[in-house]
Chain A
Amino acid sequence: MGGEGFTEEVIRLAGEEIRTCIQCGTCSSSCSTAHLMDNSIRKLIRLVLEGRKREALASDSIWLCTSCLLCTVRCPRGIRPKAVVSALRQICEREGIRSKDASFERIFMDQIRSSGRISEVLLSAAYALRNPDAAVPIMEMGIELLSRGKVSLDPGSVSGMDEIQRIFREFENE
């Protein structure tokens, strides 16, 4: 399935250093959404190097990355795992592949539409309801965070909601 060409393309897009990955897992254990991902960012890199295109592109992780860049800051080999994610997104886009589970994006968008910002708690909770697999760790963490007042249930809202609604409408009319 042209796996090698695939590896080459990702390397071209995300950098030659990818070949030097030692599978240490620093990226994945630094990753803020790793607990939601099917393949850890580390494993994604392995899949790329192995030329396992179908598995790599089918991975949820590509869509769950929040671009926080912690992986990239910490990788001891100077690899940019986030750039790998971006490369894979680019390839998916070209090949018309979408997240197999678009629920996360949908929830994300719905929240923005209604309040103009994201509430980690509501986002995680809504996502957990649709993805029982991911639910347990999310809930555990959520309860702990809530009990310490680290997060709030009320997302609040931003000023300029009209503007946001307008952007959404315009986009949908296109």
Chain B
Amino acid sequence: MDPSERPMRIGVYICHCGLNIAATLDVEELRRFAETLPNVVVARDIQFTCSDAGQNTIKSDIAEFKLDAVVVAACSPRLHEPTFRRTITEAGLNQYMLEMANIREQCSWVHMDSPALATQKAKDLIAMAVAKASLLHPLETESVPVSRDVLVIGGGVAGISAALDLANAGLRVYLVERRPTIGGYMALLTDVFPTNDCSICVLAPKMAEVYANPMIKLMTYSEILAIEGTVGHFRVTGVTKPRYVDPTLCKGCINECSSVCPVEVPNDYDFNLGKRKAIYMAIPQSVPLVACIDTNACIGCGLCAEACPADAVKYDQQSEEFKLDVGAIIVATGWQPFDASRKEEYGFGRYRDVVTTLQIERMLNAAGPTRGDIVRPSTGEIARSVAFIQCVGSRDQTVGNPYCSRICCMASLKNAQLIKERYPDADVAIHYIDIRAGGEGYEEFYLRAQRLGINFIRGRVSSVEEGDDGLYVHYEDTLLGKTLMKRYDLVVLSIGLEANRDAEVVGNLLGLSRRPDRFFEIAHPKMRPVEAHIDGVFIAGCASGPKEIQVSIAQGSAAASKAMQLLFKGEIELDPTVAFVDRDKCIGCRLCVDTCPSRAISVKDTAFVDEARCKGCGTCAAACPVDAIEMRLFSDEQILAQIRAATAVKGEYPFIVGFLCNWCSYAGADLAGTSRIQYPTNIRIIRVMCAGRVDPSFVLEALRRGADGVLIAGCRIGECHYVSGNLHALQRAEVLRGLLKEIGIDPRRLKVAWCAASEGDILARKIEEFVDELRDLGPVGTELAAALPSGKV
């Protein structure tokens, strides 16, 4: 119903909440007050509004009084807004025709000693709610059809796990892998901790399953070139590179072609320990089992084509572009090993007998270059003494990797055990700073290693030197307090895991954020472990930081299940509380584009908000210099109406209007309430979704209408629910303070505060402080009056 056609009809329900509200506030007085407010046709005070009886009263009133909107003055909207939205929907109203006045958490519970002032404040809160309610519009939740297909980027164990779960649930999956085979690093490992089962034995069946599953389209040797669109409809372009072998013809015999190939190059799948030919199969268990020609090595002699019995070698194969339309994307781009030659003092690349974890994995692997023998690469003899050096490229500021790579302790414990089991007489030592064995069965695994006679030496190795007869390792045994030097045949550098540089392109295409450690950032470091900041994008495995195999698998499954939840219905509901652009007003300045943390705005001639992406923070609306962006809920006019209603009476001094962000500060105020932390009654709080929503005009309006101070409170810096809204708020406040100064208002009347949802006490203290500060400043306008000799403002 358009309010311009006829006045809104509003019902107001004041809750006693037993005695929680009624003991402090005069609820009957509040009801009588509410009855006098414009547009209010019925007001009641109710024992428990959220009870069935309470809700039924509202429902029957909606019918009887033909209500257009409902105001419930009770507890926090963060608690019962969903309840009352349901109530009014059941009575035939649009769910957005509800406004709540928080007279419990923000009033009766925090001003228990000043009932009269608290009642006055409650009146203001109710008047503000009614003012906003008078401007509410019904909003329709739109459902849009989405693609149920999912793109999984990366065919390591996390991507495989995600792809299989999705496919088994009946969703179509495109699995895109850069290399000629899937399997990732796991396919190259020997036995894996903590059970010491053979890595490829457990992985190969999964790889085969991927290949066989009709719901999975496997695209190896392929890369993503472009990603457009948003959740539900990502339009993806990619390319499959030519392997110069026809996958439909190749039988995977590989010996026929590779045995005639005259070119040998270091085998990258053995980390350059062994050699391979220019035409090669990455690993014997490659999926797909199709040969591949390395164009950097191939000399074009044509021998392989002649030798191939299936006529599969095709030198004229072209790269092929593909286009996909997917509803969700799972980023499982994995990691890259730390380049050990960056730690020059350890001599990797200079001394042949200094190797890395991955090389020792290949040596230990029965299918590897040494067929399972642990040898000194310099002589080919079996190594009689082996040192593992931990934390190479991890926990190390000198290479910019302060983080722990999480798996290296366990990997070395495992490899040391395997060596000791194979060569019981070998002297095997692990030079460590701390042994981190925090997982199921991990500490027991450590125990087992100790029992096997592996020597644990506590102290980080400072350098490795090559002598005539072996490698000399320098360290301080920090438990003995002695600086020592020890000789070994072989030194294994436990290299750390780094963010995969090759994944940067995909990250940039999607707009993923990165942590300082360069791994992709997840939406919440605890609560949303596989979600990206971008809707419809999930991150699994080592793309978001070092992880063990089992965690990567779990994350792959978790990401798959998130994607399923999102796409299963084949349509998604768009939250209608988003931003929209008035195209007549928009001047195309693009200020909003960079402001939007969700990258929801694009500008052609005028700005356009992608409603599927917009999260409704309102930062853009506050940033737009010509007010061309408006919010469907928390609109400018609604908030301005709240400000005017708040300042209509100005029943106390100093008088503060506060804008609190829904997620942290407003929640903090709620916590102050539930914890009964008492603070002065001087503040009237307006809820906004984000501190970034606060338009300078709101602040100016509040001050113009006689507020002595304005408080903007949001999440602590770095914790904004929308990533950067609070930073925008901060910036804007700086500018605004300058402006206030220019127009003769003391800039200290605008206060900015950061407070977490758990910091009710901090918020209460900030309010207290602000009240004191404003008392010192005097009523608003004091400074103007002082500046004008006439005393007139």
Contacts and interface: CB of A to CB of B under 8 A. Distances in A.
Given A29-B475, A31-B483, A42-B476, A77 B397 contact: yes
Interface string A59-87: 00000000000100111111000000000
Contact residue range for chain A?
Answer: 20 to 34
A58 interface: no
A13 interface: no
B420 interface: no
Contacts of A27: 462
B-side interface mostly: mixed
Nearest to B474: A29
Interface in B453-482: 459-463, 474-478, 481
Given A24-B433, A25-B478, A40-B483, A30 B459 contact: no
A74 B396 CA distance: 9
A26 interface: yes
Given A42-B476, A42-B478, A77-B397, A26 B460 contact: yes
A-side interface mostly: helix
Given A23-B478, A25-B478, A34 B483 contact: yes
Contacts of A76: 391, 395-398, 460
B387 to A, nearest CB: 14
Interface string A14-58: 000000001111111111001100001011000000000000000
Contacts of B475: 25, 29
Given A22-B434, A30-B462, A78 B397 contact: yes
Contacts of B463: 29-30
Given A31-B483, A76-B391, A24 B478 contact: yes
A26 B396 CA distance: 11
Interface string B528-552: 0000000000000000000000000
B345 A29 contact: no
Interface string B424-449: 00000000011000000000000000
A167 B710 CA distance: 71
Interface string B476-502: 111001011000000000000000000
Contact of A25 (B396, B434, B459): B459
B342 to A, nearest CB: 13
B481 A40 contact: yes
A40 B476 contact: yes
Contacts of B460: 24-26, 29, 76
Contacts of A75: 397-398
A78 B398 contact: yes
B457 to A, nearest CB: 10
A24 B463 CA distance: 13
A73 B461 CA distance: 14
A23 B484 CA distance: 16
Nearest to B484: A29
B307 to A, nearest CB: 52
A75 B434 CA distance: 16
Contacts of A25: 459-460, 462, 475-478, 483
A73 B476 contact: no
Contacts of B434: 22
B111 to A, nearest CB: 43
Given A22-B433, A74-B462, A28 B396 contact: no
Nearest to B399: A76
A74 B398 contact: yes
Contacts of A28: 476, 478, 483
B398 A29 contact: no
A30 B462 CA distance: 5
A29 B481 CA distance: 10
A28 to B, nearest CB: 4
- Which of A23, A26, A40, A75: most chain B Cβ within 10 A? A26
Given A76-B397, A77-B397, A35 B483 contact: yes
A35 B345 CA distance: 19
Nearest to B396: A76
B478 A73 contact: no
Contacts of A23: 478
B74 to A, nearest CB: 49
A27 B395 CA distance: 15
Nearest to B345: A74
Given A40-B476, A74-B345, A76-B398, A29 B391 contact: no
A165 to B, nearest CB: 38
Nearest to B391: A76
A75 B391 CA distance: 12
B610 to A, nearest CB: 43
Contact of B398 (A40, A42, A73): A73
Contacts of B483: 25, 28-29, 31, 34-35, 40
6 contacts: A24-B459, A29-B460, A29-B475, A40-B476, A75-B398, A76-B398
Q: Give the 7 A-B CB pairs with smallest separation, nearest first.
A: A25-B476, A24-B460, A29-B462, A25-B459, A78-B397, A30-B462, A76-B396
Interface of A: 22-31, 34-35, 40, 42-43, 70, 73-78
Given A29-B484, A78-B397, 6 more contacts: A22-B434, A25-B478, A29-B462, A29-B483, A77-B397, A78-B398
